[in-house]
Amino acid sequence: DALGPTVCVGEILVEIVATTVGDGFLEAQPLVGPFASGAPAIFISQCGRLGGKAAMVGAVGDDDFGRVNTDRLKRDGVDVSAISIDADYPTGSAFVRYRADGSRDFVYNIATSAAARFGWSQTVGDLIDRSGHLHVMGSALSVPSAREVIEKAVDIVRARGGTLSVDPNIRRELKLDEDTERRFSKLVAAADLLLPTGEELERAAGVEGEAEAIRRLFEMGVKEIVLKRGVNGATYFGRQGDRIDAPAFVVQEVDPTGAGDCFGGAYLTCRRLGMSQKQALTYASAAGARNVMVLGPMEGAGTRQELDAFIASTERRR
Ligand code: ATP
């Protein structure tokens, strides 16, 4: 943490959630929201709540949806100085409704919202120049403005001795053009910490099979891998062949959105605060589990005290 804050770059959204289960939005229905959201924002919120130095780069509109986000992140202790306020475009949004089988219907306004309209600026540069860690979502590489900021920031943060974590959240089916694919591989290879799910692990490595994918990623240059397996827990893999399995906590799932981002934010923050992989895994598993107990993508993100209480009072799966 001494080198400076953890910075996350990417989309800031509000999420509005249907309160009934069913198919889509073709008729009038009860909704609840706005909730602060956007995977990078969820990640950085969890970092801040856990007491790590944290800062966010992105954009919101000059509207209440934007203020929901900036007020929330400020309360979490996140530096919001590099969140720009777009005078012309509204804050990004996602309407979501869960179907009976657990899949989701979305109506997004991201690409044509403030969320996708930010770039390098003096303020962003000043923040990156004093940052110690950068966290990147793979999906951001397909947004040109975010890509420019991320690639510049990676070079600056690493040059000053900082570190990089990557959540390669790109679906298996998603075909990237050759140039973006190359940039994605370069980013993955530079990661000090990679935080994939099983499918993303194979996608990032470009090979099938967990063991083979892990081997390939270390070969590419990745330093540390933490694999997220939902209710089946998580596993840390080290370059020396070491591994630690962490079972998930037993909770009642209300809203699965944001589990992976809270998990990642907690793991990274604990590591930067000097904790062992094992202890970081415990906090991360608690952060992911606690977040799914509450409606809203980051409403269940816990403070250190809340996570300690959760860990002490909650059973783990066998
Ligand atoms: P999302 O995309 O929904 O944010 P993800 O797919 O990136 O999440 P998951 O593996 O679903 O990541 O969740 C990350 C971690 O959070 C898991 O490894 C687990 O420790 C914890 N977790 C997630 N869901 C649950 C659950 N229902 N019960 C207990 N723990 C959970």
Interval 80-108: pLDDT, tens: 999 999 999 999 999 999 999 989 999 99
Indicate if ipTM > 0.95: yes
Percent of the chain residues topping a pLDDT of 70: 99
pLDDT surpassing 70 at residue 225: yes
How many whole angstroms from 172 Cα to the centroid of ligand 1?
18
How far does the centroid of ligand 1 lie from the alpha carbon of residue 87, in Å? 36
Beta bridge partners of 14: 36, 93
Pocket of ligand 1 (CB under 6 A): 197, 228-231, 233-234, 248-249, 251, 253, 256-261, 263, 285, 288-289, 292
Centre a 10 Å sphere on the Cβ of residue 167 and count the other Cβ atoms it contains: 29
| Buried-state track 260-280, b at ≥16 Cβ within 10 A, e below 16 | bbbbbbbbbbbbbbeeebeeb
Mutate to test the pocket of ligand 1, among 17, 98, 225, 231 (most ligand atoms within 8 A of CB): 231
Burial of 185 from C-beta contacts in 10 A (0-12 / 13-18 / 19+): middle
CB 279 within 8 A of CB 270: yes
- pLDDT for 175 beyond 80: no
The answer to whether 43 and 91 are in contact (CB under 8 A) is no
Q: How far is CA 88 from the centre of its chain?
A: 27
Distance between CA atoms of 294 and 42, rounded to whole angstroms?
14
pTM here is 0.97
Instruction: For residue 251, give both structure tokens.
Output: 């909770």
